[in-house]
Structure 1
């Protein structure tokens, strides 16, 4: 299939699918288990990291030391893929604060998830290039599709169809099943146990994520705006050990686009039934988006064959 050129700088709100400005209140408390089973952990490596939590002024009010478990897969001689263990648990998906709400994030609902693995970072250009050289499954892949070039930057300007091809080739190469996350898996992993608008607390700052810092969410200070992607891992991890869940690039999910959560699954499944088959869901916001658009609950949609320099992806393994 010929690649579509839908590259643009502006927010994805041109499709009328990006959420409206969100309130600053807290969401309903969510529950989760602490870890995978001990037997699973014994097969994994681990890393330690710190998680800063900020108030509405962007001032740090807490810093937590956490540990995550992972496995890595070599992708050729120059790249590897780190998959972080995400524990089973339950959480409230969607926006639940008392102020202005977007219908796209309602109704808020409980979702229960089983353990899974998610890539620590959005897929990088080095990882993409390594997998693009593997045998084709359903469609060709360009070795270097990104607009903002850099081996450690997230790959972007790839369609949902191409992201699925990446997953298919990776699965065949590793003899493991890789796919795009469901929306509920993505939001659960992004929140990492937090019920606040962001995994960092009540707001974001330029030290915590790559987004359009010309706009404020709460009372955080203004900062210089960098209108491009940044290398993955430049900013701190959330409490699950995942990086760049807020901003940098929007991330493709497996779900067909739905205008709201009426009838949404409650067990973490990929949601296809009664969706808009030409569109796929996006999460996380990008370097070009306001802080409201990079909240944990924020969501958008885009054509499955569309390309945009604000859109990349990460993968899960179940």
Structure 2
């Protein structure tokens, strides 16, 4: 069961409320045990949190987060989803159609603790909140396809870092880019196929150039542009559009392929060509083989802009 930490205004939680599910879960748990001590952590956390508006998670609440729980730490903050710890094989097998050399060798990555990931790529609504607060260097981004819930595009790596610094200062918690291995991990969401939804892709799954099919998949119409960030079904971790639509920055410096020194614990690779950083996810105007879970691309940190998704490390057991 997933829970949503959507924090209500003071005085809004009552015995009949069904809002803010994780808080609701704790609140119900406390109610269900009338004899429980008032020092019970779940009761205490729920009682404190029920009086608060949207704000940073307290240590008590953060420690109770579970996979698929979600939260927002300010009114203008992106919605975050808790992704479970786990282990996976990063890279692509030699028999995966249309793979590239840079996707090997396959190697195991183990992420020992849950972490939080933006449910969506950063939207222009998110970006404009930063601009309105005199953050993000006044960089407007590429909005020829619109703003609002459209993904923020035209954002180079250095500009994405400005947003992360603004958000971290606003909340008082550290927000960051995902590492390349974290990005592949939460894209796959426990799957081993080229896409989280299987061995082929259609325009019902993602936004890409469908005139170039993948494997035995069908031909389809080419995309005319990016779409709003909550389009298409989410993957098993609850994350939207991890394939296609817009490329997303990761923290990793560019490397042509994985090596024996590639981090195996989810950390970013921060050696080599750091003027170029790894991009993941593909784009609306790229072919199907370039939106696979294992596909790697790179871009100059101060060059042409793309988009990004945020991550927050959690203090959880």
Contact preservation (8 Å) 2:2, 2:68: no
> Is residue 272 of structure 1 aligned with residue 270 of structure 2?
yes
Q: 2:163 aligns with which of 138, 163, 166?
A: 166
Please give the per-residue CA displacement for 1:1-48, whole angstroms capped at 9, x wherever unaligned.
xxxxxxxxxxxxxxxxxxxxxxxxxxxxxxxxx999xxxxx95689xx
Please give the per-residue CA displacement for 1:239-259, whole angstroms capped at 9, x wherever unaligned.
100001000000000111111
Residue 251 to residue 44, structure 1, CA distance change in 2 (3 Å)? farther
Please give the per-residue CA displacement for 1:242-289, whole angstroms capped at 9, x wherever unaligned.
00100000000011111100121000001112x212101100000011
Aligned-residue Cα RMSD (Å) equals: 2.3
Residue 215 to residue 45, structure 1, CA distance change in 2 (3 Å)? farther
Structure number with the bigger relative contact order (C-alpha 8 A, sep ≥ 6) is: 1
After superposition, residues 194-213 of structure 1 pair within 5 angstroms as 194-213=191-210
Give the match for residue 288 of structure 1. 285
Give the match for residue 314 of structure 1. 309
Looking at CA atoms only, which structure, 1 or 2, has the larger radius of gyration? 2
Following superposition, the deviation at residue 144 of structure 1 comes to: 4.8
Distance in 2, matches of 1:305 and 1:118, equals 24
> Is residue 118 of structure 1 aligned with residue 113 of structure 2?
no
Give the match for residue 240 of structure 1. 237
User: Structure 1 segments of 4 or more deviating over 6 A?
Assistant: none
Contact preservation (8 Å) 1:45, 1:70: no
Distance in 2, matches of 1:44 and 1:145, equals 38
Give the match for residue 73 of structure 1. 73
Distance in 2, matches of 1:292 and 1:268, equals 24
Whichever structure has more strand as a proportion of its residues is: 1
Residue 143 to residue 125, structure 1, CA distance change in 2 (3 Å)? same
Please give the per-residue CA displacement for 1:69-100, whole angstroms capped at 9, x wherever unaligned.
11123344xxx521000000000000124256
After superposition, residues 147-166 of structure 1 pair within 5 angstroms as 147-166=144-163
Distance in 2, matches of 1:70 and 1:152, equals 19
Give the match for residue 134 of structure 1. 133
Following superposition, the deviation at residue 135 of structure 1 comes to: 4.4
Give the match for residue 56 of structure 2. none
Residue 312 to residue 144, structure 1, CA distance change in 2 (3 Å)? closer
Following superposition, the deviation at residue 117 of structure 1 comes to: 0.4
Contact preservation (8 Å) 2:141, 2:155: no
Distance in 2, matches of 1:186 and 1:35, equals 21
> Is residue 220 of structure 1 aligned with residue 214 of structure 2?
no
Distance in 2, matches of 1:167 and 1:45, equals 30
SS in structure 1 of the partner of residue 163 of structure 2: helix
Distance in 2, matches of 1:174 and 1:44, equals 20
Contact preservation (8 Å) 1:147, 1:156: no
Following superposition, the deviation at residue 204 of structure 1 comes to: 1.1
